[in-house]
Homo-oligomer: A and B are copies of this chain.
Amino acid sequence: MAETTSDQAPRPRLRLRIYLDDSTWVGPGKADLLELIRDTGSISEAGRRMRMSYKRAWTLVETLNATFQEPLVHSERGGAGGGGATLTPAGEEVLELYRNLQLRAAEAGQAEIQRLEQMRAPAPVK
């Protein structure tokens, strides 16, 4: 979630997508959305913090809910105005799996990532 605020040669970041079929994946955007729904209890607030429309956030939630055997997000009431939303146990698990995968991948690839960083050209002047 943390974005670098400096534009001077930020550290490399690894972004992972796990494709569950040809057109369905879990990636950083969906993981961040799940995390924000957990933290704010609201799909619209989570979407707002990611600068996406309520419609977009809701579509992503529907996609996630349809991707797994169990829904990941339980929404109390519909409507743009509100109604609480919570992660289901499956939602908590998928979020944790994704975060673990991120950590493990970054650890396992540390040497490669450092070497790519060394090989990188200096940041262009903007």
A residues with CB within 8 A of B: 4, 7, 9-10, 12-22, 25-26, 66-70, 90, 93-94, 97-98, 100-101, 104-105, 107-109, 112-113, 115-117, 119-121, 123
Q: How many copies does the complex hold?
A: 2
With both chains docked as a complex, state the minimum distance between the C-beta of A110 and any C-beta of chain B, in angstroms: 9
Q: Which residue of B lies closest to A17 (CB)?
A: B15
Q: Which residue of B lies closest to A14 (CB)?
A: B18
Do most interface residues of chain A lie in helix, strand or loop, or is the interface mixed?
mixed
Whole-angstrom distance between the alpha carbons of A25 and B10 in the complex? 12
With both chains docked as a complex, state the minimum distance between the C-beta of A4 and any C-beta of chain B, in angstroms: 7
When the two chains form their complex, are residues B17 and A121 in contact, meaning their CB atoms are under 8 A apart? no
- Can you give 5 A-B contacts (C-beta < 8 A)? A14-B17, A20-B116, A68-B121, A97-B112, A105-B108
When the two chains form their complex, are residues A10 and B22 in contact, meaning their CB atoms are under 8 A apart? yes
Residues of chain B within 8 A (CB-CB) of A116 are 18, 20, 26, 94, 97
Residues of chain B within 8 A (CB-CB) of A120 are 20-21, 67-69
